[in-house]
Amino acid sequence: MAKRIDGKAIAAEVRAQVKAETAQLQKKDIIPGLAVVLAGDDPASCTYVRNKKKDCEKTGIHSEIHRLPGSVSQEELMALVAELNQRKDIDGILVQLPLPKGLNEDEVINSIRPDKDVDAFHPANVGHIMIGDYQFLPCTPSGVMEMLHHEGISPEGKSCVVIGRSNIVGKPMAMLLLHENGTVTICHSRTKNLKEICRQADILVVAVGKAKFVTADMVKPGAVVIDVGMDRDEAGKLCGDVDYAAVEPVASYITPVPGGVGPMTRAMLLKNTLTATRRHYRLAQEDA
């Protein structure tokens, strides 16, 4: 039976660390500031943004939610980002995705100052991640790495398989595993012999957005299984990309949904905001 990796508990530890560091910054009259831009009324996005604000309040980070109607124009959205780029009291900017139809996400992401891009989606930050010289990491992949570190699981020398090649999760996830000396394979919708490739993985990260996509016969006995998915099953119940009940007896470690990677994603956003603040005030971590 696999050990369940408790994302809620690990995220709570991260938040406690952020809260302590924020308190030290406040003694220097420095208050980290995060601005979240929410366009439209997508229910999942609204819930996520609301939870981010609560996290900030608990840790002492100043947060602002800039709500825009779904009818907002590209020019209006870009103008808001430009304004936030110039504000000295805002250290991090996050534009909640997906944007309403008709808006150009790439143009918006590219307009965020790289030193305020706490999602690490700007091409400049993506390039730094590629070469291993980065300040920010995308929140979900970095949350996964935090979980592995917490459990004492090293990718070094291990076969690591990532299912999914998105810019937000799959690609950066592969790079982070590679930076820690894992041997990485990225699988996707055109991959042949997917089951056989997955069964070779010592660490399997699944981010495809298909409920219970990974079944027990795709998992190597004793593998570490990280489920990034957030789906609904046939009964409408929240589940992940991994068939948890079937895979748990096979794996050595597994993340649940909910309560696994999700809380870590929000926690790492707080860490990125602190990093941005320290950079803006030219503080080393030990000075915070």
Q: What are the angstrom distances between the C-alpha of 184 and each of 128, 224, 253?
A: 19, 14, 19
Query: Which residue among the candidates 91, 96, 115, 271 is catalytic per the annotation?
Result: 96
**Dihedral angle computed from the Cα positions of residues 217, 220, 222 and 223, in that order, rounded to the nearest 10 degrees:** -110
> Active site includes 52?
yes
| Domains of the chain and CATH, by start | 30-113 (3.40.50.10860), 139-262 (3.40.50.720)
The predicted model gives 142-164 an average pLDDT of: 98
User: Which ranges of the chain would DSSP assign to H, the alpha helix?
Assistant: 7-26, 43-59, 74-86, 105-111, 123-131, 139-150, 170-179, 194-198, 244-247, 261-280
- Which pLDDT belongs to residue 122? 97
- In this predicted model, what pLDDT tens digit does every residue of 71-120 receive, in sequence order? 999 999 999 999 999 999 999 999 999 999 999 999 999 999 999 999 99
**Residue 135 falls in the annotated catalytic set:** no
Catalytic one of 115, 117, 119, 227: 119
**pLDDT at 288 exceeding the cut of 50:** no
Decide if 220 is catalytic. no
| pLDDT of 244 over the 50 cut | yes
Pull the structure tokens for residue 70. Answer: 């779904």
